[in-house]
């Protein structure tokens, strides 16, 4: 904004002098946060990456339910401490997967949260989950045999007696789903790496 002022003064000799002053004021507009309906990537949830994340969330919930259905929610100690690790890993993975799903669906990685390195974090998260769940599926398969118990016949689950031990069907199924979950995270990591540029460009075009 510019402001102009004109002054006229009389000199001692009787002449008049006109003085003009100009004052410029610059205003810097700060960023304003508001709550409103923003752009969404409607095709993401119906695409391969979105469907994979939805399946991952579902499998995490099922795995937690299967593990806790035998001896309760724990916490498991001693030889069964691996169950606590699997429960924690599945719960954290479910939460972070949901965050990635919401962020990509509402295009937060391009708008409000564009300062975060989403692609690198997403790829690292999926690789870590894939490796971790492969290891935990093997541990869970060992637990499902019941051979960890001092007295296998006392395990409180119906099953087939094998070498004096009872197969715990809930944990055996949980082991299978954990391995399947590892495959899904590996597939998500591969697709995220392959589509890292196309997803970004497509979302930019839809946003603008």
**Domain range spanning residue 90?**
40-69+83-198
Instruction: Assess if residue 30 is contained within a domain.
Output: no
Number of domains in the chain: 1
Instruction: Assess if residue 172 is contained within a domain.
Output: yes
The pLDDT of residue 111: 66
pLDDT at 8 over 60: yes
Query: Which DSSP letter does residue 73 get?
Result: S
Question: Between helices 169-194 and 81-105, what is the axis angle to 10°?
Answer: 40
pLDDT at 47 over 90: no
Highest mean pLDDT among 66-75, 96-105, 173-182: 173-182
Average pLDDT of the segment spanning 43-72: 87
pLDDT band at 156 (very low <50, low <70, confident <90, very high): very low
pLDDT at 201 over 60: no
Q: Is the pTM of this model over 0.85?
A: no
Instruction: Assess if residue 97 is contained within a domain.
Output: yes
Give 1 or 132, the one with higher predicted confidence: 132
Instruction: Assess if residue 129 is contained within a domain.
Output: yes
Distance of CA 125 to the CA centre of its chain: 8
Contacts of 65 (CB under 8 A, 6+ apart): none
Pairing of strands 16-24, 2-10: antiparallel
Whole-number average pLDDT of the chain: 77
Instruction: Assess if residue 31 is contained within a domain.
Output: no
pLDDT band at 70 (very low <50, low <70, confident <90, very high): confident
Alpha-carbon separation of residue 19 from 5, 23, 167 (angstroms): 8, 13, 100
DSSP-assigned states of every residue in 37-65? -----TTTTTSHHHHHHHHHHHHHHHHHH
Average pLDDT of the segment spanning 81-90: 89
Instruction: Assess if residue 208 is contained within a domain.
Output: no
The pLDDT of residue 48: 85
Instruction: Assess if residue 33 is contained within a domain.
Output: no
Give 44 or 96, the one with higher predicted confidence: 96
Give 12 or 97, the one with higher predicted confidence: 97
The pLDDT of residue 58: 96
The pLDDT of residue 127: 94
Average pLDDT of the segment spanning 44-62: 88
Q: How far apart, in whole angstroms, are the C-alpha atoms of residue 127 and residue 190?
A: 9
Instruction: Assess if residue 147 is contained within a domain.
Output: yes
């Amino acid at each position: 904004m510019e402001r102009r002022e004109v002054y006229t003064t009389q000199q001692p000799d009787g002449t008049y002098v006109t003085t003009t002053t100009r004052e410029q004021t610059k205003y810097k507009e700060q960023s304003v946060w508001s709550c409103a309906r923003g752009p969404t990537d409607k095709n993401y949830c119906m695409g391969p990456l979105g469907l994979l994340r939805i399946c991952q969330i579902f499998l995490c919930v099922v795995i937690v339910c299967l593990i806790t259905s035998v001896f309760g929610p724990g916490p498991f100690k001693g030889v069964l401490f691996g169950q606590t690790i699997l429960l924690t890993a599945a719960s954290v993975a479910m939460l972070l997967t949901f965050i990635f799903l919401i962020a990509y669906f509402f295009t937060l990685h391009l708008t409000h949260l564009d300062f975060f390195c989403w692609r690198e974090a997403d790829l690292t998260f999926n690789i870590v989950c894939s490796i971790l769940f492969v290891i935990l599926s093997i541990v869970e398969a060992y637990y499902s045999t019941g051979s960890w118990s001092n007295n296998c016949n006392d395990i409180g689950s119906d099953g087939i007696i094998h070498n004096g031990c009872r197969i715990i069907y809930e944990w055996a199924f949980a082991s299978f789903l954990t391995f399947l979950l590892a495959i899904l995270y590996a597939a998500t990591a591969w697709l995220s790496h392959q589509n890292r540029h196309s997803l970004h460009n497509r979302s930019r075009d839809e946003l603008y």
